[in-house]
Chains A and B, each alone.
Chain A
Amino acid sequence: MTRAKGSTFLLAVVLFIASLVIIIASIASGPRLLNPFRMDRETSQMLLAIRLPRTAIALLMGGALGASGAILQGIFRNPLVDPYILGISSGASLFASFGLMFGLALFSLSVPILAFIGAIVTGAVVVILGRGWKGLQPERLLLAGVGIGFFLSAVLMLVMTTSGDDGLKRAILWMSGDLSMVDWDLFPAGLFFVLIGFGLGLSRRHGLNALTLGDEIAYSLGFDPTRERLFLFVAASLMTAAAVSVGGVVGFVGLVVPHIVRRHVGSDASVVLPLSVVAGGTMLCLADAIARTVAAPLELPAGVIVALIGSPYFIFLLGKGKISD
């Protein structure tokens, strides 16, 4: 192991341990502080049926968003890209809101399933529109995503304005990343798609590294940029779709986490991807713990907390000149 690799490994271990401590502390915090050594029936029910599923979903979602942000920033060579800029969240929100507002929520999983379908369909449309005569070009893909995203958001606003149903408030909460009602039953399917997406992304890590150097260099290194971009885009879309479908729209994690990780460990995708999962998961887990604790018993949306804490930190990094692509 070289010296640089050794220090990266050490840093990764430190980050991992710090995450573990934060996760355990967040599981304990809430309207009632849980003491693992003194559990009564209510406390253990609270832990097993409410807090652990929330934590698990937060880790899954945050991890998926962190990794897909890292992949997308790499393939677009643009530090401002996040998993939602490609319209994926708008597609998911629109479909999920139909479910929430028009009573299509017949069974408990119908909203997540609708959100997943919305996200995947949007991702597919963006890819089709993003294919220029030179293959899958980043600029075209980005513009297609932004355009579709704006269109779908407008349709969503239209639907929300003309709807007076009670689902509206729930839909708004869903769109601001509310984890207060999540349950274990969302976890297996979410985990399945996140793992597929992450596996696919990780298997193309060398392609991702090559793409960040530019298409010509990627070619000369033996990678077909269009093919690599397509695989990586599918990987990021699967992770984003799964994340949105389990807990709604949580912004900012996918944007800021890759920056924080790259700042510490450099830009090698084999390190950045796994660490973005850990950092993203931990960030959302912490945000959700704060969301259920600060104004207890009022539940605040975790997505709002992420942005409230994350934005000043992001601006601080920007001010120090620590953000680069």
Chain B
Amino acid sequence: MADMKRVILSLLLLAGWNEAALSSPPPPPQRIVSLAPALTETLFSIGLGDRIAGVTNDCDRPKEARRKPKIGGMANPSLEAIVSLKPDMVVMTNDGNPKVISDRLARLGIKTYIFKSRRLAEIPDGIREMGQALGAGPASEHLAGNIETALHDIALLPDGNNASEAVLGGGRKTLFVLWTSPLIVAGPGTIVDDAMKIAGLSNIASDAGVAYPRFSVETVIERQPDLILIGKMSDDMKTASKGFLASVNGLKAVKKGRICFMGDALYRPGPRIPEGMKELIRCGKMP
């Protein structure tokens, strides 16, 4: 009988313990590995910088990120390097990190969080969701709110009309170059394309059918862009684009010097999106 009591008691204790374990949320991850530069920037921005255990070789912002242990490239990280950092969460994106990595990490028993926002308008909610998952709800809410406000301010005049279109005199024909040889440009469905729409610029490659198409120089000449934006995939983009600009030197954009070299803020769907938007507007207003 005493034995029975003990069994029931221990069962009750076990049940109670289980309930307690279920009702309290799991502790937020303390050792986070980030597999994308934009996510690293976001993590620092929402105050999780101290908990970052490792980043990719491309994570260069903010400055502190450069001192974090490295785990390799975005498409080819070293699984061994990740495991050796003993992460309790790996944050990655479905825009640049291949799916095979999350599959492999899952099988190694490492938790992953996948950032799924790929369009400009989805970024604030993506940041909110990631912040919740990492136990930084309020800070991520704050950052997401800031980005939303910035996008809203840029897109709308007080009377609700599209600001930039009014400011820029209606949809300046624009080409956004990512690389010049071969010519790779920002096509439809990309954050850059979304940003151009908000800024009132008309992307001449919006019908390309592919996100980052290899574009024909002849089509560029035929479509007569008023403005050429050149993204910063590497520091020597000015040198790299000389040949391309020479081949399209008959264009109004080139003759009038409406060539704008942009930073990398729009490539990184994170806290610097408003900065990238402002840069885009500034370039869009070039005389």
Partner-B contacts on A (CB < 8 A): 30-32, 42, 45-46, 49-51, 105, 108, 161-167, 169-170, 173, 178, 180-181, 183, 292, 296-299
The reply on B187 being an interface residue by CB < 8 A is yes
Q: Which residue of B lies closest to A300 (CB)?
A: B76
Complex CA gap A162/B86 in Å reads 40
* Minimum C-beta distance from B268 to chain A (A): 16
Q: Which residue of A lies closest to B211 (CB)?
A: A164
The reply on B15 being an interface residue by CB < 8 A is no
Q: Is the CB of B100 within 8 A of A297?
A: no
Within 8 A of A (CB), among B154-205: 187
Q: Is the CB of B86 within 8 A of A42?
A: yes
* Minimum C-beta distance from A117 to chain B (A): 19
Complex CA gap A161/B72 in Å reads 26
Overall SS of chain A's interface? loop
**Other A-B pairs, 19, CB within 8 Å; known A51-B80, A166-B94:** A31-B78, A31-B80, A31-B81, A31-B84, A32-B84, A46-B80, A108-B100, A108-B103, A162-B210, A164-B187, A165-B211, A173-B75, A173-B76, A180-B78, A181-B98, A292-B78, A297-B70, A298-B78, A299-B78
Residue in B86, B100, B213, B214 whose beta carbon sits within 8 Å of that of A181 in the complex: B100
Please name 10 pairs of A and B residues whose Cβ atoms are closer than 8 Å in the assembled complex, sorted by A: A31-B78, A32-B80, A45-B83, A105-B100, A108-B100, A166-B95, A166-B96, A170-B100, A173-B75, A292-B78
Q: Is the CB of A298 within 8 A of B76?
A: yes
Contacts of A50 in B (CB 8 A): 79-80, 83, 108
Q: Is the CB of A42 within 8 A of B84?
A: yes
Q: Is the CB of B210 within 8 A of A164?
A: yes
Q: Is the CB of A105 within 8 A of B99?
A: yes
Given A161-B214, A164-B187, A183-B104, A299-B76 contact (CB < 8 Å): yes
* Minimum C-beta distance from A39 to chain B (A): 13
Given A108-B100, A181-B101, A46-B75 contact (CB < 8 Å): no
Complex CA gap A239/B127 in Å reads 48
Complex CA gap A51/B108 in Å reads 13
Our count of residue pairs bridging A and B at CB distance below 8 angstroms stands at 81
Which of B75, B101, B210, B213: most chain A Cβ within 10 A?
A: B75
* Minimum C-beta distance from A74 to chain B (A): 36
Complex CA gap A131/B79 in Å reads 47
The reply on B263 being an interface residue by CB < 8 A is no
Contacts of A46 in B (CB 8 A): 80, 83-84
Given A163-B210, A180-B79, A297-B71 contact (CB < 8 Å): yes
Which of A183, A296, A299: most chain B Cβ within 10 A?
A: A299
Partner-A contacts on B (CB < 8 A): 57, 70-73, 75-81, 83-84, 86, 94-96, 98-101, 103-104, 107-108, 187, 210-214
Which of A49, A180, A292, A296: most chain B Cβ within 10 A?
A: A180
Q: Which residue of A lies closest to B107 (CB)?
A: A183
Contacts of B75 in A (CB 8 A): 169-170, 173
Which of B73, B95, B98, B187: most chain A Cβ within 10 A?
A: B98
Q: Which residue of A lies closest to B118 (CB)?
A: A166
Given A164-B187, A164-B212, A170-B98, A292-B104 contact (CB < 8 Å): no
Residue in A49, A164, A166, A298 whose beta carbon sits within 8 Å of that of B213 in the complex: A164
Given A42-B86, A297-B70, A298-B57, A166-B98 contact (CB < 8 Å): yes
Complex CA gap A255/B211 in Å reads 39
Contacts of A108 in B (CB 8 A): 100, 103
Q: Which residue of A lies closest to B71 (CB)?
A: A297
* Minimum C-beta distance from B12 to chain A (A): 34
Given A45-B108, A298-B57, A292-B80 contact (CB < 8 Å): yes
Complex CA gap A299/B210 in Å reads 29
Complex CA gap A296/B79 in Å reads 11
Please list the 3 inter-chain residue pairs (A to B) with the smallest Cβ-Cβ separation, ordered nearest first.
A297-B81, A164-B210, A297-B78
Q: Is the CB of A298 within 8 A of B73?
A: yes
Contacts of A180 in B (CB 8 A): 76, 78-79
Contacts of B80 in A (CB 8 A): 30-32, 46, 50-51, 292, 297
Q: Which residue of A lies closest to B69 (CB)?
A: A297
Q: Which residue of B lies closest to A182 (CB)?
A: B104
* Minimum C-beta distance from A103 to chain B (A): 9
Complex CA gap A31/B82 in Å reads 10
Q: Which residue of A lies closest to B96 (CB)?
A: A166
Complex CA gap A50/B72 in Å reads 16
Q: Is the CB of B214 within 8 A of A167?
A: no
Complex CA gap A46/B81 in Å reads 9
Given A45-B108, A49-B108, A299-B73, A181-B79 contact (CB < 8 Å): yes
Residue in A166, A169, A181 whose beta carbon sits within 8 Å of that of B104 in the complex: A181
Contacts of A170 in B (CB 8 A): 75, 98, 100
Complex CA gap A262/B57 in Å reads 43
Complex CA gap A325/B10 in Å reads 78
Residue in B57, B78, B86, B98 whose beta carbon sits within 8 Å of that of A169 in the complex: B98
* Minimum C-beta distance from B78 to chain A (A): 4
Complex CA gap A32/B80 in Å reads 8
* Minimum C-beta distance from A99 to chain B (A): 11
